[in-house]
Chains A and B, each alone.
Chain A
C-alpha cells in the first residue's frame, strides 16, 4: 500500500543509531506504508532522526499494526506510572 500517509513531529532525546553511535533526535516521522524489512505488507513505520547528521542518522522502526498499538499502550503505561511532575 502506497498510502503517502505521513505524520511528523519534533522530539527531544537520543537514540542509538548506525554502528552503535548515539544520535541526538529532533524529528519523528510516522507513517503507515511499505516496510523495507518487516515481513508484512504494511507496517506502522517510525523514523527517529537527527536530520543535521545526514540521511543515515536515523533509527528506522517497522511494526505490525498490533505491535504498534501495544507499543503505544506500553509507552502510555510507563508514563502513567510515574508522578506527573516527572513526566510532564
Chain B
C-alpha cells in the first residue's frame, strides 16, 4: 500500500479548543488502526510530517497534532518551538487533552477499526507514555523520551516532571526504543523505567542500540543512526501489527 493522502486539518484539542493537525491516510476504504504521532521538541516540522506519512504508507491513519499551535499559530516550526520553550513548554494536562482529541478524530474516521496507538520522539517520547497513562489507547511507543524516570534538575523554567508516580496507571503495552549513548535518558534511567514496569506487571518491550545516541530517527540531523533507525522502524511495525 503506497498511495496516500496527507493534509492539514483542524481538530478539537484540550478544552475543546481548535488546533492544527497533520493527517495522513492510505487511499481507499478498509478497516484500519490509527496512530497519533507526537512531535519532538523542535516542533511540528517536516521530519515529523514525514513520519506521519510513513505510517500512512504502512497502512494506518496517522495524525500529528501541532502542540505549539496555541503559542504560535501559523509560525515556522523552529520559531514556534522557540516560542513554546520560552513560555515554559507544553503543560502535561494540555498534552493529554490534545492527544485525546487527536485519538478521537482518528476513531471518528469511517476507516477506523477503533484501535489507536501513540508514538512520540524526544520530549514526545515522554508525552507518549504520559498519554498512555491517562487515555484509552491500544499501544504506545516511547522513542528516547527523557524524564519518564530520573530527576529533573531544580530551576528548569520548563514545566516538566518525571512520570514515576503515573507509571502504575499505564493502560496499554509500551514499546521503548533507546540509544545506549544517550544522556537524556541515560541507560540507567531506562533500567529504572523497565524495573518499574516489571514490578507493576506491565506489558513492555525495550530495544536499546549501541553506538546510537538521542534522536537516532531524525533523518536530517547528525544524530541519525541508520542501524538503529532501520531496526527501530521494523520493531515499531511489528509492535503495532500485534496491538
Contact = CB atoms under 8 A, between A and B. Distances in A.
Interface of A: 1-8, 27, 29, 31, 33-36, 39-41, 47, 49, 51, 54-56, 58, 60
A2 B79 contact: no
A6 B156 contact: yes
A36 B223 contact: no
B146 A31 contact: no
B63 to A, nearest CB: 22
A34 B213 contact: no
B82 A55 contact: yes
Contacts of A29: 82, 85-86
B82 A4 contact: no
A56 B221 CA distance: 22
A58 B82 contact: yes
Given A2-B41, A55-B79, 15 more contacts: A1-B182, A1-B214, A1-B215, A4-B152, A5-B156, A6-B85, A8-B86, A34-B214, A36-B78, A41-B223, A47-B85, A54-B75, A55-B71, A58-B82, A60-B78
A57 to B, nearest CB: 9
A2 B71 CA distance: 20
A4 B147 contact: yes
Contacts of A39: 222
A41 B86 CA distance: 21
**Majority DSSP secondary structure for residues of B touching A:** loop
Nearest to A31: B85
Nearest to A35: B221
A47 B32 CA distance: 43
Contacts of A49: 82, 86
Interface in B212-230: 213-215, 221-223
A39 B223 CA distance: 9
B60 interface: no
B90 to A, nearest CB: 11
Contacts of A35: 221
10 contacts: A2-B123, A2-B145, A2-B214, A4-B41, A36-B78, A39-B222, A41-B213, A41-B222, A51-B83, A54-B75
B122 A55 contact: no
A27 B86 contact: yes
B19 to A, nearest CB: 15
Most A Cβ at <10 Å: residue of B78, B144, B145, B215: B78
Nearest to A40: B222
Given A29-B86, A58-B82, A4 B156 contact: yes
Pick the most buried of A39, A49, A56: most chain B CB atoms within 10 A of its CB: A56
